[in-house]
Amino acid sequence: MILLTGAAGKTGRAVLKALAARGQKVRVFLRSEEQVRELERQGAEEAVIGDLTDPAGLRKAVQGVRAVYHICPNMHPEEIEIGRLAIDIAREYKLGHFVYHSVLHPQTEKMPHHWKKMRVEEMIFESGLNFTILQPAPYMQNILAAREAIVREGFYRVPYPPQTALSLVDLVDLGEAAAVVLTEAGHKNAVYEIVGIEAITQHETASIIGDVLGCKVKAEEINLDHWRSRSLKNGLQPYELDTLEKMFLYYSLYGLSGSPFVLGRLLGRSPGSLAQFAGREFVYNL
The model's pTM is 0.94
At 171-217, the pLDDT tens digits run 999 999 999 999 999 999 999 999 999 999 999 999 999 999 999 99
d(C-alpha 102, C-alpha 105), whole Å: 9
Q: What is the pLDDT of residue 12?
A: 96
pLDDT for 283 beyond 80:
no
Would you say the C-alpha torsion 199, 204, 205, 209 has a positive or negative sign? negative
What pLDDT is stored for residue 147 in this prediction?
93
Whether the per-residue pLDDT at 280 is higher than 80: the answer is yes
When the pLDDT of each residue in the chain is averaged and rounded to a whole number, the result is 94
Tell me what the mean pLDDT of segment 139-165 comes to.
Answer: 95
Task: With a cut of 60, say whether residue 286 has pLDDT above it.
Answer: no
